[in-house]
A and B are shown apart, each in its own frame.
Chain A
Amino acid sequence: MWSPTEPVYRIATPTPAKAWRSRDGRYRLVGNRCEDCVLPFFPKRRVCPQCHSRSLTETVLAPYGRVVSAAEDRTPLIGHVGRDSRPFAIVALEDGPCVLTELVDVDTGTDAGGEGGPTTVTEGTEVELVVRKWRREASGPYQYGYKFRPRRAR
């Protein structure tokens, strides 16, 4: 007999090991740097796209940066519905690489009718790393990762 607790048929659902492998990048912004041409990368790369070196050294990138481009997600995906509006941005990190990140602890200005994204965050705004919940993995566990907020203290 059908019961609502009967498992739904699914194929190719990744095990938790898949997301576990990217934990250092998600929690601490671990990137790497080419030993030959010193170009820094986030996410970590296996081959340097500039000089094709395979000698790359892991490095924890400084958790600070500046907003380059900003937008505001008004239709969050399944698994991200806690906020009606999710401001997000591309942030240029102090160490060079850029990251795409959700922004927290900012006034989105959603009701103010403003244009071009969150009112208190714009090109050049200084931000800092925090760790927050991303979404549940398909296999069940909650996945956490970086988000950024306006920088507080220097």
Chain B
Amino acid sequence: MNGTGVVIAGAGVTRHGFFPSRDWKDLVVESAYAALHDAGVSPGEVSGGFVSVSLPETFEQQNLGAIAADELGLAPAAFSQVGAACAGGTVALMNGVAAIASGAVRAVLVIGVEKQSDAASTADSMLHFPDAEYEAPAGFDYVDLMALMHDRYVRKYGATHEAIAQWVVQDRWYARRNPIAIDYGRAALTVAEVLDSPMVSRPITRAACGRACDGASAVVLMRAGGAPADCEPVEIAGIAQATGPNVLAAKFGHPASAGADIAEAVPTEVAAKKAYAQAGIEPHHIGLAQVHDCFSVMGPLHMEGLGIFPPGKAAAAAADGETALDGRCPTNTDGGRIGLGHPTGATGVSIAVESALQLRGRCGDRQVPDPDIAVCQSMGGSNATSAVAVLRRPR
């Protein structure tokens, strides 16, 4: 196969952070109109849309597709709400690609939004995503589940805590250089500072946690060749999603795990293979990656799932500089979930925006030299689902 035939015609994103005075609708309108402006598409040309959100409870509002469409002045366009935990943004992108590819619509808005600052506690706000019968009521939230994955990764592959902490140092390096990042302009971090920060769930320290926050991002999708002549389209060469068991312990011995357990990102591997086949690429072609590091250890796990590094080797490779700006595959160049911030429903769209801006060469002093093929991946749940998109600079 060769591509989806769909391009990102325009991209927009808000600052990621904590904005008590801004409603989710403010963030949606800002990002969507930035994307329309970037594409040179007028609002009246948009006939469909998908809105990704993971915690509509904090909005005290559901049915966000219709509400966003009307707020944007786009009713009666066909808009719906998409949910796939923290992978929702990439899944919404996949829905948008399918809508364009079907020929039913000419221009689609894919929007992700979150208002984590409206939740009284971000640990509790995400508590409906672990298993409702045997994980959440027993007192286990995401950081606990990921702490076990971190422990298992270290035991199984001999990765070091220091190498995993280096991932956080790298996220900060990029985030300091990204004006929309929650950590923009902050001081550099050291491995010792990461390891010595307060323990949240051993072995995960506070500094190694993704920063749940507010933010929105949006892209305008159109058929390749159908985008305005003066926009800078980026091709969606491949996009796919896969699932696995949500109950963490049930990954051991599960047929879908194929012998792996919790130290591997199995759905990422499955989705990546499909997306690469659609794009006609191999992992070694990838020169830029955005992966779902909601906690430091998850970055290496997903890099291995994407096939960019062999199992158990990604933490050491990143610590050796292979994912730095001058490395073999610069990764999480927007600062990642830890440095950019993690507006959960928006994240899957935010990473597509960063990839598009990098492929266009618009990222200032965090610009990767001449990237050709970018991959972006987001995870929902503790590897319950993962979605992977391959973006390519127009040839």
Residues of A within 8 A of B (CB): 19, 22, 25-26, 39, 41-43, 49-50, 68-80, 86, 88-92, 96-102, 115-117, 123, 134-135, 137, 143, 145
C-alpha gap A60/B139 in the complex (Å):
23
Q: Is the CB of A72 within 8 A of B255?
A: no
Q: B248 in the interface, Cβ–Cβ < 8 Å?
A: yes
Question: DSSP majority for the B interface?
Answer: mixed
Q: Which residues of B contact A74 (CB under 8 A)?
A: 198-202
Given A43-B247, A97-B250, CB of A71 within 8 Å of CB of B137? no
Q: Which residue of B lies closest to A101 (CB)?
A: B138
Which of A43, A77, A99 neighbours the largest number of chain B CB atoms within 10 Å of its CB? A77
Q: Is the CB of B202 within 8 A of A68?
A: no
Q: Is the CB of B249 within 8 A of A98?
A: yes
Q: Which residues of A contact B245 (CB under 8 A)?
A: 49
The 6 closest A-B pairs by CB, nearest first: A71-B147, A80-B139, A98-B249, A72-B202, A98-B252, A69-B152
Given A74-B199, A77-B123, CB of A49 within 8 Å of CB of B256? yes
Q: A22-B134, A71-B147, A77-B127 are in contact. List 17 more A-B contacts (CB 8 A).
A: A25-B134, A26-B134, A49-B245, A69-B155, A73-B139, A75-B200, A77-B124, A77-B139, A80-B139, A88-B140, A90-B148, A97-B249, A100-B135, A100-B248, A116-B154, A134-B138, A135-B138
Which of B138, B143, B201, B256 neighbours the largest number of chain A CB atoms within 10 Å of its CB? B138
Q: Is the CB of B139 within 8 A of A116?
A: no
**Number of interface residues, chain B, beta carbon within 8 A:** 42
Q: Which residues of A contact B203 (CB under 8 A)?
A: 71, 115-117
For chain B, residues 201 to 223, give those with C-beta under 8 angstroms from any C-beta of chain A: 201-204
Of the candidates A92, A98, A116, A134, which one forms a contact with B202 in the assembled complex, judged by CB atoms under 8 Å apart?
A116
Q: Which residues of A contact B148 (CB under 8 A)?
A: 69-71, 88-90, 100
Of the candidates A72, A92, A134, which one forms a contact with B139 in the assembled complex, judged by CB atoms under 8 Å apart?
A134
C-alpha gap A98/B257 in the complex (Å):
14
Given A26-B134, A99-B249, A116-B154, CB of A77 within 8 Å of CB of B202? no
Q: B102 in the interface, Cβ–Cβ < 8 Å?
A: no
